[in-house]
Structure formats: structure tokens, C-alpha cells
Amino acid sequence: MVLADSHCHLQLLREGQNAEDLIARARDAGVAKILVPGTTLEDSARAVALAEAHEGVYAAARGHPHGAAGFGRDPMAAFYAVGCTADAATACADNKYLTEDPQLNARGYFVEVEHPELGRKFLYPGAPCILSATPWRLYRRPPLLGEHNKEVLGGELGLSVEAIRVLRADGVC
């Protein structure tokens, strides 16, 4: 059996931590493959450098949506500009750009979901992969803010009706 760490931010180590030591410890524990996902353009470049320097370490050059404004209309060009030449680099760009992406549209990635409470449909991300034997589907809208408070607070957390009432009165939920 091959063990893999699919989410290891080796490029974001604190002072005094050493990526080489952590990789060696992972190897000693039987971890053969390590994926280092980037979160910004700059730390994606560091992730790629780590992957190039260590066998069995792979980089995912990417960016979080909170920094999408810096990617512009061509996120891939922004990654290449900081040295990310990895085989697979993805950016969570502004939704407007994503919904115009020809590749995502060609594979039918976005799914319209009816939101009856708001009286309209919204585009949501669809299947992360296409499987013929077990097709993916989006079968309901996301919950409204606070929609499941009673079930979670009362059922899962065991709060009393009075405790939930106090939380509501205090504007917590």
C-alpha cells in the first residue's frame, strides 16, 4: 500500500521548521507521495520549487478566491509569470470569469439550481469529475442561513429550547 499526504503546506512552514526534515519524517512513516497545494501566486511558486527539488513531492499551483482579483482574466498567465510551470495549475478566479471559461462550459460543469425562496435560479459548481457508472448530481439548493439551527443546536449539540431562544434573542443565530 502506498500512503500519500494529499494536503501538506510545506511551503508555509514557521521559522525553525525545515521542509527536508518533514519530508524525511514522512518517508520514515511510510508516506511516499506528498501534495503541496499553493494558496497564492507566490506560495504556489514555492510549492513548485519544493516539488522540483524532492522526488515524490507534487505541487498544485492554485489560488484561493479571496485573492482572485490579482489573477485578472488570465489566471494561468499570472501563475506562469511567477515561475509556476507545473503541469496542473488552477486558479479560483472571479466567478464571472469562471462561468465564461470555455473548458468548464464545454464539459457542462455549472449547474442551474432553483432557489424557490429567492424566486430564481443560480449557477453552482457541478461535478468535480465525470463518472459514467455513478453519475454525480446536485439535488437540492444549499441551506439558508440558520435553516438548520434547530436540528444542529437542539439535536446535535443538545441545547434546550430555552437556550436556543436566548441565542436567537442575543443575535447569535
Distance CA 59, CA 84 (A): 9
Q: Which residue has the cell 469529475?
A: 129
DSSP state, residue 82: T
Average pLDDT taken over every residue of the chain:
80
Distance CA 31, CA 38 (A): 20
Q: How confident is the model at residue 89 (pLDDT cuts 50, 70, 90)?
A: very low
Model pLDDT, residue 91: 44
State pTM to two decimals. Answer: 0.49
Detail the DSSP E strand segments found in 61-154. 110-115, 120-125
Model pLDDT, residue 86: 42
- The closest alpha carbon to 60, from 29, 28, 32, 92, belongs to 92
